[in-house]
Amino acid sequence: MINAGDDLTPNREDFKNTRASTGFSLRSRVIGFGQTNSPSRDKNGRSIFRLGHRSNLDREDPPSEFQLALGGTREPPHHHHRHRIEPSPWVQMPDAGVGVKSRRLSVSLPDDFFVEVADLLSVYEYQNKFFGRHGRHLGKGATSKVTLMARKGFPGELYAVKEFRRKSKAETVDEYEKKVKSEYSIAKSLHHPNIVETVQLCTDHGRWNHVMEYCSDGDLYQLVEKGYLKDCARLPDRLCLFKQVARGVNYLHRNGIAHRDIKLENCLISAGSKLKITDFGVSEVFCGTHPGLREAGGQCGTNMNNEIRLCAPGICGSEPYIAPEVLRKDRPYDPRGMDVWGTAILMIYLTFGANIWKRAELKTGSPNYDLLVTQWEKWYARHSEPDPRITELDYPHYVPFDQCVTPPALRRVLLMMLNPDPAKRASIADVVNNRWVKNIECCRFDSYDEPAVVIDASKKDATRVNGQKIFCHNHMPVQSQGHSLGKMPGQPGY
């Protein structure tokens, strides 16, 4: 139970959670109202698809019309009890999509994708030639595994190579290849500082391989798992990373593409501590021409118009990040709202070290989500005017945010992104164009077209370049060997 006057400051016992037998709870510290869920990991604790190296609710009043619109039911009242919620496997295989992860196709894909294919081993070689494709894996998931390779003749030119799963018995060869080529052509068309660059589509021994930029510093899950970003001193890092994710998603939406699986594991850190979004296995082209069509010429964002193609009802993504309208599965939905919701949940992970609810669904054992809906309902009850907007002094007061999210401007941005009503939720363009978000110090420009001018964040005086500032950040923990010489040849970890 959470009351408006409750003190939610964590105590020592809140930081002693251990991994459950299922292997899905966070090892890192979680504060008192963090759910015991964690981002998607496999049974061995490895990151899935990781490239590179996370009011008074005892009253059971009948649900209001606002709650019913969000999927509530008029069930008999019952009491909620605070208890440990056992974690569950968060990864949800999508019911539909155009990527290789999907069970079925959600759109009509072209019969002939314009995609060039190369033989993998004629261009690239495994770093460990003795073990070959069974050598060093950067990550492994339900639909693919990722291996480190180098371009032949250039051992220092490294790439992450994603080997797709084999065709399932339920799909034809033609349907399977369409999914592979669709995912590749979407990823290949994207060119933005916060998107992983896709290089080539290759085959090897009958298996499809997706060659990508190698991000050497791992993913955001690792930083969350270590509890590094929760420190108050790391607020500039959290804000910079949040802004980079929002910029990447905004680029996708401007070009008619929805990611649909924004989460910690799909945000990689490249050399230089820059964030990049990866894994377009469940992405949708919701507007314009599919980049794989010959008429698109391999470009995203062609023939854009005002027609938005909705996604068919069905689960997609990872449960803690899934928006409430997707979980309901009762109507087609705009995939852009799912990306906005997922980006806000990612920032919650960065801030709290865990999500603060298990599932964005009313009365399913997630009291913090119930409270969010209640506070939005109360706020709308005070505003009879059409399309009310939150202001600096007038916004839903949500206890977890009020106590633990600073500055207040960030609370308001997250609340706009977490409006349970998708029709009233902020767009990602609203987020990146928010005056406060624009002023967040960021170590990355929003386009490759910007000049490469770097400003040291430790200096007060920073010049502007084309109206933007760029700062020098290092989001990774300092790796210290003390007085040791470090790992020597022949030692584990060298």
Q: Which domains does the chain have, with CATH numbers?
A: 99-213 (3.30.200.20)
Q: Alpha-carbon distance 437 to 371, whole Å?
A: 26
In this prediction the pTM is 0.76
- The reported pLDDT for the residue numbered 429 is 98
Q: What is the pLDDT confidence band of residue 99, given thresholds at 50, 70 and 90?
A: confident
Distance of CA 21 to the CA centre of its chain: 25
What are the pLDDT digits (tens) for 15-38?
A: 344 333 333 333 333 344 555 454
Average model confidence (pLDDT) across the chain:
78
- Asked if pLDDT for residue 42 goes beyond 90, the answer is no
Distance of CA 143 to the CA centre of its chain: 18
Identity of the highest mean pLDDT range in 90-94, 314-318, 450-454 = 314-318
List active site positions. Answer: 261
- Give the residue, 247 or 17, on which the prediction is more confident: 247
Contact yes or no for 97/283 (Cβ under 8 A): yes
- Asked if pLDDT for residue 101 goes beyond 50, the answer is yes
User: Residues within the annotated binding site for ATP?
Assistant: 162
- The reported pLDDT for the residue numbered 420 is 97
What are the pLDDT digits (tens) for 249-285?
A: 999 999 999 999 999 999 999 987 899 999 998 999 9
Mean pLDDT of 142-146: 75
- Asked if pLDDT for residue 48 goes beyond 50, the answer is no
- Asked if pLDDT for residue 493 goes beyond 70, the answer is no
Residue with token string 């090897």: 204
Q: Which two structure tokens, joined as six digits, stand for 91?
A: 């990864």
- The reported pLDDT for the residue numbered 63 is 52
Q: What is the pLDDT confidence band of residue 64, given thresholds at 50, 70 and 90?
A: low
Q: Alpha-carbon distance 282 to 259, whole Å?
A: 7
- Give the residue, 143 or 213, on which the prediction is more confident: 213
- The reported pLDDT for the residue numbered 478 is 73
- Helix residue spans in 334-452 (DSSP H): 335-352, 367-381, 399-404, 408-417, 428-432, 435-438
- The reported pLDDT for the residue numbered 406 is 92
Q: What is the pLDDT confidence band of residue 143, given thresholds at 50, 70 and 90?
A: low
- Give the residue, 357 or 140, on which the prediction is more confident: 357
- The reported pLDDT for the residue numbered 60 is 44
- The reported pLDDT for the residue numbered 449 is 75
- The reported pLDDT for the residue numbered 6 is 52
Q: Alpha-carbon distance 11 to 439, whole Å?
A: 34
Q: Alpha-carbon distance 480 to 139, whole Å?
A: 25
- The reported pLDDT for the residue numbered 86 is 32
- Asked if pLDDT for residue 482 goes beyond 60, the answer is no
Mean pLDDT of 286-302: 91
Residue 79: CB atoms within 10 A of its CB come to 9
